[in-house]
Chain A
């Protein structure tokens, strides 16, 4: 089974802190994604990566950056956390081509105070 793990289930940070969210997948997938999930808005794509050191902006990249130094690991970085970044963050991975199914991690609920 594909397994996507995220470093924390719950995280509380203060405004202005630098925040790292880590995601690891164990199926050698080329593509990895970061979404945020907010009530009534569904999931919105922040960034994705289709290869090591490659990244593309999604729909809401402002205030975020990403890093992919190894194929299995994709990090989301909040350079200076703000209260409007309080949300559920979901990581996903998929193979490069085919049926487009994405496999999701359990999510990190981030609260910025």
Chain B
């Protein structure tokens, strides 16, 4: 069965420093992977997606993620954090069923300090 593990429940960075949110996946075949972001009191928004095309995926707001099959990882990065990046981030894998079942990680809360 497909699953994702988000290695950190909380990550704290200072504004202007790099962001790294870690995600490892488990899948018996080549997976499709997403990162979603949830700002306080808002619904989830798709940040970026990997669907077996380029392994380096660029998303909105300067985020990107690299699919590494050898490491079964899909870490989310951003070169320079902004205060508005403070949110909860979810790594998601798509299950290979007859419909679109998303399997969510437990989330990483990103805290950005001035």
Given A31-B100, A41-B106, A56-B99, check contact A100 B42 (CB 8 Å): no
B9 touches A40 (CB 8 A): yes
Interface: B94 (CB within 8 A): yes
Binds B, one of A11-19, A43-51, A61-69, A70-78: A43-51
Contact of A102 among B32, B102, B107 (CB under 8 A): B102
- Inter-chain CA distance A5–B84, complex, in Å, is 24
A100 touches B100 (CB 8 A): yes
A101 touches B104 (CB 8 A): no
How many A-B residue contacts, CB cutoff 8 Å? Answer: 51
Interface: B45 (CB within 8 A): yes
Interface: A104 (CB within 8 A): yes
Interface: B43 (CB within 8 A): yes
Interface: A24 (CB within 8 A): no
Given A31-B100, A94-B100, check contact A42 B43 (CB 8 Å): no
